[in-house]
Structure 1
Amino acid sequence: MRDRVYLYDLPIRSDSRHKDANFSFWSGLKFQLAGRSEGRTRKKMSSSEILVHREHAEIHQGEAICKKKSKELLEKMSLPKGLLPLEGLVEVGYNDATGFIWLTKKSKTEHTFRKIGRRVSYDTHVTAFVEERRMRRLTGVKSKELFIWVSISDIHIGDPASGKITFATATGMSRSFPVSAFEDDEEENGK
C-alpha cells in the first residue's frame, strides 16, 4: 500500500525508494520538488500575501503612475532605481505599516544588466518587505547563474560607502555587485 504525501499541492508517493534513501524525508521531498512546483507555489503565496496587506496600502494602477511610484519608493528606501522591472506594470502597492510592496506586471519578463552581464527574470507578481537599503522575503525574482535559475530572496546594501549591493538566496548563498550596475537605464541615457 502506498501513502500519498501532499506538499506544494503535488502528490508524492511514499514507498520503499524514499525510505531507503540516505537523506532525510523532508530534504528528499524538497529535492524532488525543486523546480516543479516552486513557481506555482510562490505565485499562490505572493497573491495571498498581496490580499492580506492590501487593506491599508497605497495602491496605484496604470503603467505611467506605477513606474513613477516604484522609482520614488526605491529612492525612499535608498535602493537603486533600476533594480526592479518597470515596463508593463499594471499595479503597484505599498503598505507603509508592514513595509510590504508588490508589483503586478502584464507578463513575465527577463532583463539583462549589461554592466555585470547577468540575466534576471521577473514574474508577473513581485513581492517583498522593504526597509532602509533592504528588500527581504522577496518573491518573483530569479537570476541566471551558469545554466540554473536561482530565486533571489534578499537584496541589501550593507555599507553604502562600499558601493556594493548584495543579492542572497534562501539557502544563504550570496553575491555582491556594484550599486552603479543597477542605476536606471533611462537616467544613464539622459546624461
Structure 2
Amino acid sequence: MAVPKQGGIIKKGHEEGIKFAVSILEEHGLPLGLLPLADVVEVGFVKTTGYVWIVQAKKITGYVEKKRIKKLEGVKAKELMLWPLVNDITVEDPPTGKIQFKSLAGITKIFPMEAFAAGQ
C-alpha cells in the first residue's frame, strides 16, 4: 500500500524537522513534548489528510487532527512491563488537562498533559 505523502510539506534535517514537528503538534493543540524526537532526518505533513511522518532512527507515522493523533505507528508505551504499540492519542476536549493513550492491545492510559510539555 502506498504511503499517502502526495501534496505533503517536507522538512529535512534535525533542526528544521524538529521545528516543523513541534509546529504541527502546536497547531493541533497537542503537547509539544508528546513524541520522541531524536536525530530527526525528515518530517512531512499532508495538511489535507492530516498524515504526518517523522523519519529518525525509528520511523513514526500517524494522522493528526485537532487534539488527536490516530493510526499512530512507531511509538510504544510501557505498561505492565510490556511495550504495546500506541495507536491513538487524544487530548481531552473540553480541556481537562489530561491526555489519553490507547493501544491495539486494548490498554488505555490517561496522564496529565504537563508530563508531555516540551523538554520533559
TM-score, scaled relative to structure 2: 0.93
The separation in 2 between residues aligned to 1:140 and 1:126, in whole angstroms, is 5
Q: Is the counterpart of residue 128 in structure 1 residue 62 in structure 2?
A: yes
The separation in 2 between residues aligned to 1:149 and 1:173, in whole angstroms, is 11
The separation in 1 between residues aligned to 2:114 and 2:90, in whole angstroms, is 14
Give the gaps of 5 or more residues in structure 2. none
- Aligned residue for 2:52? 101
What are the residue-to-residue correspondences of 1:145-164 with 2, within 5 Å? 145-164=79-98
Shifted more, 151-160 versus 90-99: the winner is 151-160
Cα deviation 1:32-62 (Å, max 9, x = unaligned)? xxxxxxxxxxxxxxxx55xx32221001101
What are the residue-to-residue correspondences of 1:36-75 with 2, within 5 Å? 49=2, 52-75=3-26
What are the residue-to-residue correspondences of 1:106-121 with 2, within 5 Å? 107=57
- Cα deviation, residue 159, structure 1: 2.4
Runs of 4+ in 1 over 4 A off after TM superposition: none
- Cα deviation, residue 160, structure 1: 4.4
Q: Is the counterpart of residue 184 in structure 1 residue 118 in structure 2?
A: yes
Give the gaps of 5 or more residues in structure 1. 1-47, 108-123
Q: Secondary structure at the match of 1:148?
A: coil
The separation in 2 between residues aligned to 1:145 and 1:169, in whole angstroms, is 10
TM-score, scaled relative to structure 1: 0.60
What letter matches 1:62 in structure 2? Answer: G
Q: Relative to total residues, which structure has the larger helix share, 1 or 2?
A: 1
Which structure's relative contact order is higher, taking Cα pairs within 8 Å and 6+ residues apart? 2
Identity %: 38
The answer as to whether partners of 2:84 and 2:105 remain within 8 angstroms in 1 is no
> Over aligned residue pairs, what C-alpha RMSD do you find?
1.4
Q: Secondary structure at the match of 1:161?
A: coil
Which has the greater radius of gyration? 1
- Cα deviation, residue 171, structure 1: 3.6
What are the residue-to-residue correspondences of 1:11-30 with 2, within 5 Å? none
Q: Is the counterpart of residue 83 in structure 1 residue 83 in structure 2?
A: no
